[in-house]
Amino acid sequence: MATSTAILLFGLLGILLLVQCQQEEVKIDDGKERGQTGYILDSIPAEEVYTVSALIERANQRAGQDPGDPEVVEGDIAVPTGLQNADPCTARGCKWRRHGKKGHVYVPYIISNQYSSHEKAVIEKALQSFAQSTCVRFTRRRRQRDYIHIQSRSGCWSYVGRRGGGQVVSLARRGCVYHSVVQHELLHALGFNHEQTRSDRDLHVRILYQNIIKGQEHNFRKIKTNNLGTPYDYGSVMHYSRYAFSANRQPTIEPIPNPNVVIGRATQMSATDILRVNLLYRCK
Ligand SMILES: [Zn+2]
């Protein structure tokens, strides 16, 4: 008797939860943002809307299509025209240089005057966050040859690593000026790739190709990354969310063995992201 009551209760609870989920989805469908943002809000659940990869995906629907913009692959990685991929380059000299007595790594930057003072403050805060936990120092450019030029172009994107000379980090005013997104793009500029492109990712996630938007499968390629001996991190600010590039509201990335583990919800650099910066740049 007790068992059947329990089953009945669980059943009711299940139905209640289901109804609640459906209500949330309806709320999103009817939300005022729908017209502005296009397909992305339609294809992911409410709680995933502000994940780094959803923000970037939403902002990047036209990325790389403006004249003068580089080609953008893997969601937000800029590649020089003619090259089809952005390989890890940190072994070949695309790290930023370390100098000075304290062993700091200086990354000179310019912020475009396109931004409002509030937007500038968000960007500056993310730039300075690296100084709190790593030896990387983003400093205003004076006359240094190599630097990053933060501009509002079409979407959020960055090259991987130092390219020599001035290099654009695009943070579109509409959609990219969030602490997590700024840190994410800066990590690309420092030489890091997306977490789920790691060479060993198949041990940690399953890619559900049947749910990916047709033509977007390339976003889920694997790269021969240097993992610096650090563990795979679902909480990395470089990890895509469960519904990245989903065509049908179904997950595109599922953690294994436990599919319920939270992935891609970081709102700032994780401890592992910080550790990797410190390892790659040999911070003391
Ligand atoms: Zn990215």
Provide the annotated binding site for Zn(2+).
184, 188, 194
Provide the annotated binding site.
184, 188, 194
Active site amino acids: 185
Cα(188) to centroid of ligand 1, in Å? 7
Cα(156) to centroid of ligand 1, in Å? 8
Q: How much is the pLDDT for 7?
A: 55
From CA 188, how far away is CA 197, in angstroms rounded?
13
Amino acid identity, residue 204?
H
CB 102 within 8 A of CB 205: no
| pTM of model > 0.85 | no
Nearest to residue 185, comparing CAs of 152, 218, 210, 208?
Answer: 152
Helix (H, G, I), strand (E, B), or coil: what is residue 111? strand
**pLDDT tens by residue, the chain, 284 residues:** 455 655 555 555 444 444 343 333 333 333 333 333 345 556 677 888 889 988 988 888 877 777 778 878 778 888 765 433 334 566 667 899 888 778 899 999 999 999 999 999 999 999 999 999 999 999 999 999 999 999 999 999 999 999 989 999 999 999 999 999 999 999 999 999 999 999 899 999 999 999 999 988 988 999 888 888 999 999 999 999 999 999 998 999 999 999 999 999 999 999 999 999 999 999 98
* DSSP track, 223-265: -----TTPPP-TT-TTSPPTTTTBSSSS-SEEESS-TTS--S-
Cα(2) to centroid of ligand 1, in Å? 52
Q: How much is the pLDDT for 4?
A: 61
Amino acid identity, residue 12?
L
Cα(238) to centroid of ligand 1, in Å? 6
| Residue 238: both structure tokens together | 């470089």
